[in-house]
Chain A
Amino acid sequence: MVDFSAVMSMLAMLQQNTDDWFSWMVFMLFMVILNFYAGKLQIQVWMGQIGRALDQLNRFRLEAEREFVETASKYGKEKEKIKKALERFIGFFMMLPETIDPAGAVLKLDHIVRNREDRLNFFIKEVAPKSDDVALANLRDLLESTIALDFIFRVVRHYFVLGKKTQNMIYIAQIQMLLPEIMRMARAYRMAAEASKRGLPMGDGIGPLVALRLIGNSEVIDFGENVVGAELDIEGRRVLVLKAKGPGGEIGRPGEALKRIIESRAGNVSRIMMIDAAMKLEGEKTGEIAEGVGAAIGGIGVEKWKIEEVATKYGIPLDAFIIKEDFAEAVAAMTKEIASTANEVANRVREAILSRTSEGDFVIVVGVGNSAGIGNRLEVPGIAS
């Protein structure tokens, strides 16, 4: 890689002071060696970066584990036992169903997702037998962040060790280039663990928060599947507002609840409106509100599928309101700029109901998202919502 003209000028300089030819030889030898070993040097630099990231990931993982043990120990079991149980459980995973034969894959997925949640709940009940619904949901969220952090650590460590063993640039380059994104995710899960530990609302909770703003102090009904709701009268329209059951960190199964409600009304619903946090593009402002159509609900896809199925079956239009956030903002504690959009979104939903439906219509509004730190209604009687 030594430039030819550079070599020429070096030779010219060599001729100028011939008495110093020895240092020039050393210099050129050094250049040659550097050429051969540049790759190796690069690998060392990258391995150093990955090693430091791994150190930090390990710290995140251990901190989250410690927080889980500490929080769970408030509910009736010794720390040592919880730690042992967590060590055995931390590798918990979910196998996705086979889709070679796609028919019925969603139902299989639904089944497995329920299985997973049952197992997580069972584990929490085991390590924190005295926890109530709210504490259980928050502990489960904390556990999920801990599992995610552990998994990220394992993957990065895998590539680190593989790179060390093989000294293969491809393995090392792969993980080094993904490192900023991996660390961003890890930091997000670390902040999520912090929010779950304290029972704070997270960015993803904007949907339930808007629902709460709409519900005000109306009486709420439990629809099962960890979904609650209240029926309101908005200028002659009957509006059923649904949200996940709070204030524990539940997402509920709004799809299943919606399906049951619509089936029980034999499809007599004129509109479904959904509110959810959605991934923003870089450069977009956090808390930007956008309107569209379709089922605004994230997750693994089961609930979305159910809503689309039932809406299609009865030809019910789907309106979507989304609040833009990035991944870290969605899982970490809700920031002020996100929280402050709730009133604006609630107003927009009200306006949409008034302009798109007529008196006597039945409308369902769903505030999708994690209900941690968000109650089901305003617990004060006698105020207008």
Chain B
Amino acid sequence: MPAKKEEVKISVGWYFIWIALIGMLTLFSVLMIWYGLKKGNVEDTNSLFKVIAGVMGIGIAVKTSMDLVKAIRGIKGPKWRYMTLVKCVKCNFKSEREFREGEYVGKKWDKPCPACGAPMIIESIYAKPPEERRSLV
């Protein structure tokens, strides 16, 4: 689809601009703090203002990059895993495996129970949510 390629290009450009802006802001903020804390003019109110502006700038940069990460993750989408639970009809042996197309609940499993040799059926099919990532963002 030619239209699709175009769309992706536009959004890649957009994210590039975004990252560039964050970089510029961070650089500017660091410079501000550095000038503000430079020896000789620490007493000055003007330098205090510079430090405050720099800290605020870094704060905004952090917030924006968090938004960016969120946006990118939103596009990729969380990866769900689809599982098939097979159960032995006699001994309650259960086994969970990756879902494959063509399987449905109630279908006879093609292999017998490894524990007792009785037939097995698909007991249920469900989606497992992606592992929660415990990080700052």
Contact = CB atoms under 8 A, between A and B. Distances in A.
Interface of A: 52, 55-56, 58-59, 62, 65-66, 83, 187, 190-191, 194-195, 198-201, 209, 212, 246-247, 332-336, 338-340, 342, 373-380, 382-383
B104 interface: yes
20 contacts: A52-B14, A55-B11, A56-B74, A56-B75, A58-B7, A59-B7, A59-B8, A62-B4, A62-B7, A66-B4, A200-B82, A201-B104, A247-B107, A333-B126, A334-B125, A335-B128, A339-B124, A374-B105, A379-B107, A380-B89
A161 B74 CA distance: 24
Contacts of A195: 127
Query: Which 3 pairs between the two chains have the least Cβ-Cβ distance?
Result: A375-B106, A247-B104, A333-B127
B127 A334 contact: yes
A90 to B, nearest CB: 13
Contacts of B105: 201, 209, 212, 246-247, 373-375
A333 B80 contact: yes
* Interface footprint category on B: 35 or more
Of A336, A340, A382, most B-chain CB atoms within 10 Å: A336
Interface in B91-105: 99, 101-105
Contacts of B77: 187, 190
B61 interface: no
A336 B126 CA distance: 5
Interface in B9-56: 10-11, 14
A198 B107 contact: no
Contacts of A382: 89
Contacts, number: 101
Contacts of A339: 124-126
Contacts of B3: 62
Contacts of A198: 82, 99, 101
Nearest to A375: B106
B121 interface: yes
B129 interface: yes
Given A62-B1, A373-B104, A375-B107, A200 B124 contact: no
A52 B11 CA distance: 8
B19 to A, nearest CB: 15
Contacts of B11: 55, 59
Interface string B99-137: 101111111100000000001011011111100000000
B71 interface: yes
Contact of A379 (B106, B124, B127): B106
A200 B74 contact: no
A346 to B, nearest CB: 12
A349 B47 CA distance: 74
A374 B106 contact: yes
Contacts of A332: 127
Contacts of A200: 82, 99, 125, 127
A55 B124 CA distance: 36
A52 B71 contact: yes
B7 to A, nearest CB: 6
B107 to A, nearest CB: 6
